[in-house]
Amino acid sequence: NPLDQVAVYYAGGPYHQTGTWTYEWDGVNWTEYQTTVNPGYFDGHNMAFMGELGGIVLYQGNANILGLEEQFWFYKDHSWTELQPETSPGNRGSAAMSYDSHRDCVVMFGGAVDKETYPYDIEYTHDTWEFDGVDWYLRNPEHHPPALRCAHMTFDSCRNITVLFGGYEEYGWHLDTWEYDGIDWTRIEPATSKPIPRYDGMLCFDTHRCRSVLH
Residues 91, 114: Cα–Cα separation, whole Å: 5
Q: Are 153 and 203 in contact (CB under 8 A)?
A: yes
Q: Is the pLDDT of residue 181 over 90?
A: yes
More confident residue, 129 or 1: 129
Q: What are phi and psi of 77, to 5 degrees?
A: 55, 40
- Amino acid code (one letter) for 167: G
Q: What's the pLDDT tens digit per position in 10-27?
A: 876 655 566 788 999 999
Is pLDDT at 185 greater than 80 in this prediction?
yes
- Which has more confidence, 7 or 20? 7
Residue 122 contacts by C-beta under 8 Å, 6 or more apart in sequence?
112, 113, 115, 149
Whether pLDDT at 73 is above 50:
yes
Residue 125 in contact with residue 109, Cβ under 8 Å? no
- DSSP code string of 139-194: E--SS-PPSBBS-EEEEETTTTEEEEE--EETTEE---EEEE-SS-EEEE--SS--
Mean pLDDT of all residues belonging to the chain: 87
Indicate whether 117 pLDDT > 60: no
- Kindly tell me if the per-residue pLDDT of 120 is higher than 50: yes
Per the DSSP assignment, residues forming a β-bridge with 50 are: 55
In this prediction, residue 19 carries a pLDDT of 74
Q: How many residues does the chain have?
A: 215
Question: pLDDT digit string (tens) for 53-68?
Answer: 899 999 876 654 445 5
Q: Which run of H or of E encompasses 50?
A: strand 46-50
- Do 99 and 51 form a contact (C-beta atoms < 8 A)? yes
* Whether the Cβ atoms of residue 106 and residue 50 lie closer than 8 Å to each other: yes
Rounding to the nearest 10 degrees, give the CA dihedral for residues 141, 144, 148, 149.
-50
Q: Is the dihedral of CA 99, 139, 181, 162 positive or negative?
A: positive
In tens, the pLDDT along 155-164 reads 999 999 999 9
* Per-residue pLDDT band at 107 (split at 50, 70, 90): very high
Instruction: Look at residue 63 in the predicted model and tell me its pLDDT.
Output: 55
Instruction: Give this prediction's pTM.
Output: 0.89
Q: How far is CA 86 from CA 100, 133, 135, 136, 202, in A?
A: 21, 12, 6, 8, 30
Split at pLDDT 50, 70, 90, the class of 197 is: confident
